[in-house]
């Protein structure tokens, strides 16, 4: 019997998959517990349509991330902070500040957890930071730290 799984079931399949199981297992275990529904042609078509819609959405998000990565790689991010003598900063430039400035200057919203710094930025100068925009799509932003008197 073909069933559509409503939840992940170990050794059977993942949620949303159409799998073939024995009739007794389906009638006595899966269906009464609400773990699956019987898969007729309508259900199978609906699952295929939903999967295709999800794939299209993921493709659009990936393309948008690639466009954003191109912009991030080309344009430097300028951050102005207070500094002391010899270009030492009071504190440091954090991934949160970089994410906020990206939103402000480039109009690209990025979660601070997606910005990776090799080491804390504590001096004036040019630095590189890695930004993860989408699985498999990374960008390298040039952070230019300028001091305020």
Q: What is the pLDDT of residues 13-23, one digit of tens each?
A: 999 889 999 99
User: Which of 63-67, 110-114, 129-133, 144-148 has the least mean pLDDT?
Assistant: 144-148
Q: How confident is the model at residue 86 (pLDDT cuts 50, 70, 90)?
A: confident
Query: Helix 41-74 to helix 95-106 angle, to the nearest 10 degrees?
Result: 90
Q: Under a CB-based contact definition with an 8 Å cutoff, are residues 68 and 31 in contact?
A: no
Summarize pLDDT for 47-80 with one digit per residue, the tens: 889 899 999 999 999 999 999 999 999 999 999 9
Alpha-helix residue ranges (DSSP H) falling in the chain: 23-25, 41-74, 95-106
pLDDT of 149 higher than 70? no
pLDDT in tens, 88-117: 888 899 999 999 999 999 999 999 999 999
Share of the chain above pLDDT 90, in %: 79
Contact residues for 3 (Cβ-Cβ < 8 A; gap 6+)? 18, 19, 21, 26, 30, 31, 36, 37, 38, 39
pTM: predicted TM-score of the whole model, two decimal places: 0.73
Query: How much is the mean pLDDT over the chain?
Result: 92
């Amino acid at each position: 019997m073909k069933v559509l799984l409503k939840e992940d079931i170990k050794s059977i399949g993942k949620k949303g998959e159409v799998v073939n199981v024995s009739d007794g297992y389906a009638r006595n275990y899966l269906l009464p517990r609400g773990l699956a529904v019987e898969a007729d042609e309508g259900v199978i078509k609906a699952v295929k349509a939903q999967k295709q819609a999800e794939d299209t959405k993921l493709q659009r998000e990936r393309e948008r991330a690639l466009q954003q990565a191109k912009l991030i790689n080309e344009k430097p991010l300028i951050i102005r902070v207070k500094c002391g003598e010899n270009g030492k900063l009071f504190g440091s430039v954090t991934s949160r500040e970089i994410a906020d400035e990206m939103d402000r200057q480039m109009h690209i919203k990025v979660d601070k957890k997606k910005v990776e710094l090799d080491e804390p930025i504590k001096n004036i100068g040019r630095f590189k930071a890695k930004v993860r925009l989408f699985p498999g799509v990374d960008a390298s932003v040039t952070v230019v730290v300028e001091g305020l008197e």
